[in-house]
Structure 1
């Protein structure tokens, strides 16, 4: 089983279990079940004859509507991973997640790169299918589309099997990997703060911080607290105030203020 080792700024080593090709393939199949269910629902629910009548048989309008119908499945993995913190429905069921190779949460740009490069090793079939379908060629070119589908899946399959970190082309370009969340002990080490279910956040502006900002804050906070380095805590608190536009209450210590910032960040960014 391949693993990814990450060193935090506190020199703590965290090992993530990389998702293998079988796990990713099964997640892919589950996601495609969702896509096929959507297509079936669209075909069964919408009366396309009414749409054609409404457009007076205009070919371009009909094709535009066909493409619009397929947009949700074309962008499915992109908006799913952005909204579900690196997961699609298939990944969530199998407890898989996309993370940055340094252990951080990928940016929206990273997710876009992963999605766009699926045309190289996974979704070329889907893009061409949408095109051929919109042009009315789906039945005529079925064999060609099927071969493109197989080639696309084969490229992605072998990339995941033979690359060091189980990465396809999109992962390499975006500096991301897919990890298993089954090893909760290792994964929990990246959690910024443990909070109770009934925790009430105080500072909503903490969402201005990035994941990387929060990790740096926590690492600096822990080191300064352990060494009783109050000058560093003051500098850290001032920097947090500048970035978040939050002011520390006079009755609150720097230690308590920063600890609350970390808890609030965890509250607002948790799944």
Structure 2
């Protein structure tokens, strides 16, 4: 299944594009996490087995924690990423693009029991294939989604300037054009940069180098710099 894009608009008028992760890449991340937990559990149980019945009891608690708590701890305190998701460049976020919090994480992980039926995530897989944003039941109920972590190469290419929001809301294509200009402006002659910047004087309220600095400030704000 092709990955889809969910576009949302923040109260500040900024359009965000969340690239939903499909079932295949999510399955790869799950297999990595499952393998890590299985290896860690086997090693620990081998050691605890030497303690007899007490060790077996402790081992059951460890297995419970590995299955139920691992996902919540990673998602809430590791920026929405388990080890598997980090390897596959995925992240769990709220449906509005904000970082996932404790309650939604707990809900989505508890509902793995339902998504796992009748075995090997049968219901979860079907739900991911049907839902337009590749969500399983746990994500739909919790109001979360798994998205691709996009590389922020553009952030490194845009010159530093104190971020400042545009004076008027910009459409998505206008935001993209502004960031593209900030990325590639240094490849243009200075006179050409100023010429293009002057065309946006209605937005910046400035001309020349002052207008260029204002455009860079807007681009840094759109990229989330602080």
TM-score (norm 1): 0.53
Deviation per residue, 1:161-202 (Å, 9 max, x gap): 11111111110111111100135379x7xxxxx89xxxxxxx
Aligned to 1:45: 47
Quick one: distance in 2 between partners of 1:13 and 1:105?
17
Q: Residues of 1 paired with 2:80 and 2:98: CA distance?
A: 11
**Is the contact made by 2:44 and 2:59 (CA closer than 8 Å) also made in structure 1?**
no
Question: Aligned with 2:128: secondary structure?
Answer: helix
The one of 159, 179, 188 aligned to 2:147 = 179
**1:63 deviation in Å?**
6.2
How much is the aligned-residue C-alpha RMSD, in angstroms? 2.9
Residue of structure 1 in register with 2:77 after alignment = 83
List, as ranges, runs of 4+ consecutive aligned residues in structure 1 with deviation greater than 4 Å: none
1:72 matched to which residue of 2? 65
Secondary structure of residue in 1 paired with 2:58: helix
SS in 1 for 2:7: strand
Q: Give the corresponding residue for 2:108.
A: 114
Q: Which runs of 5+ in 1 are unaligned?
A: 56-61, 125-147, 189-193, 196-217, 228-265
State whether structure 2 residue 71 is matched by structure 1 residue 101. Answer: no
Cα distance between partner residues in 1 of 2:63 and 2:104: 23
User: Does 2:159 correspond to 1:159?
Assistant: no
Per-residue deviation at 1:83?
1.4
| Map of 1:135 onto structure 2 | none
Q: Secondary structure at the match of 2:41?
A: helix
Q: 1:8 to 1:42 in 2, by over 3 A?
A: same
1:149 corresponds in structure 2 to: 119
Q: 5 Å matches for 1:146-225?
A: 148-150=118-120, 153-184=121-152, 222=165
SS at match of 1:85: coil
Provide the rounded CA distance (Å) in 2 between the counterparts of 1:98 and 1:50: 38
Question: Does the aligned pair in 1 maintain the 2:76–2:102 contact within 8 Å?
Answer: yes
Q: How many residues align?
A: 163
How far the C-alpha of 1:116 sits from its partner, in A, is 1.0
